[in-house]
């Protein structure tokens, strides 16, 4: 490893497993201390199993093997007051905050006429309001540090229409716009804000239960299935692939990049 994040502190949400764990391990391996945030409780409406405290503990233990300080935080990103108090406590423990990866999110695929009010509300609450909450409680610490970087995890569904995922697509387009808007207003504090847009990732969220939901929903209009096919001949990508892109955006290697939407999507958004 090259020590790109040596001496810095990074906060990652959805850190217990999957992409979040990938970000925590990559940041720690590059020399960063990490605040690892996860709700560690049942997620609303999803087909896949939710992360538990033991998952977060495993992430922390793996990251600590690098010798870095890892501060676990159990908090719901939908709960702004609690998230703020827990993040403030964790930042005080590490002494500073330099970068944020707002990774937590959910996906509930279904055909348009099977989307319930609850599914739409829950998706927007986690993916949009939770992401906004994350920026609101962390940005003041970056201002205090004299600058930093924020990455909002969107999706290829935030660049290109994804059928059978109307709430998810809506939320991820919103996250893309949110990143650009925050980038504009936080630029004067030397804070860069970008969004990352992966294709399907080999995690619990992207596993068989999710694929079964997509397959079931696609029966409503099989013509649209081709919209979900990657341009490159790969079924999906790894959490490590995404972590590499995020590392670039939070490191000084991208010091002049802001308000950018980075596609790590095997070409699906162009195909």
Under DSSP, the state recorded for 129 is: I
Has residue 147 been placed in a domain?
A: yes
Has residue 189 been placed in a domain?
A: yes
pLDDT tens digits for 125-142?
Answer: 999 999 999 999 999 999
Has residue 3 been placed in a domain?
A: no
Has residue 4 been placed in a domain?
A: no
| Whole-prediction pTM | 0.96
Has residue 70 been placed in a domain?
A: yes
Order of strands across the sheet with 9-13?
Answer: 70-74, 33-38, 9-13, 99-102, 148-153, 191-198, 261-264
The SS3 of residue 194 is: strand
Domain with 198 in it:
9-264
Has residue 138 been placed in a domain?
A: yes
Total structural domains in the chain? Answer: 1
CATH number of the domain that residue 65 is part of? 3.40.50.720
Q: Mean of the per-residue pLDDT values for the chain?
A: 96
Has residue 1 been placed in a domain?
A: no
What is 71-127 written as a DSSP string? EEEE--TT-HHHHHHHHHHHHHHHS---EEEE---------GGG--HHHHHHHHIII
pLDDT tens digits for 155-208?
Answer: 999 999 999 999 999 999 999 999 999 999 999 999 999 999 999 999 988 777
**Whole-angstrom Cα distance, residue 13 to residue 16?**
8
Has residue 120 been placed in a domain?
A: yes
Predicted pLDDT of residue 117 = 98
Which active-site residues does the annotation give?
Answer: 168
């Amino acid at each position: 490893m090259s020590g790109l994040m040596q001496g810095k502190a990074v906060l990652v949400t959805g850190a217990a497993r999957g992409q979040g764990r990938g970000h925590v391990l990559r940041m720690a391996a590059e020399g960063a201390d990490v605040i690892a945030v996860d709700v560690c409780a049942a997620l609303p409406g999803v087909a896949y199993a939710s992360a538990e405290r033991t998952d977060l503990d495993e992430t922390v233990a793996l990251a600590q093997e690098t010798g870095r300080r890892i501060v676990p935080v159990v908090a719901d990103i939908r709960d702004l007051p609690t998230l703020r108090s827990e993040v403030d406590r964790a930042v005080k423990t590490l002494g500073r905050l330099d970068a944020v990866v707002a990774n937590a999110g959910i996906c509930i695929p279904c055909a348009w006429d099977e989307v319930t009010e609850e599914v739409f509300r829950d998706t927007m609450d986690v993916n949009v309001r939770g992401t906004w909450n994350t920026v609101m409680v962390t940005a003041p610490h970056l201002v205090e540090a004299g600058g930093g970087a924020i990455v909002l995890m969107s999706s290829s569904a935030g660049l290109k229409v994804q059928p059978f995922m109307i709430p998810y697509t809506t939320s991820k387009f919103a996250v893309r716009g949110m990143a650009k808007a925050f980038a504009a207003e936080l630029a004067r504090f030397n804070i860069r804000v970008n969004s990352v847009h992966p294709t399907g990732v080999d995690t619990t969220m992207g596993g068989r239960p999710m694929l079964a939901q997509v397959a079931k929903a696609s029966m409503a209009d099989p013509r649209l299935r081709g919209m979900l096919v990657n341009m490159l001949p790969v079924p999906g990508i790894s959490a490590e692939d995404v972590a590499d892109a995020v590392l670039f955006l939070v490191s000084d290697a991208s010091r002049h990049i802001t308000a950018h939407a980075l596609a790590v999507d095997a070409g699906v958004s162009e195909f």
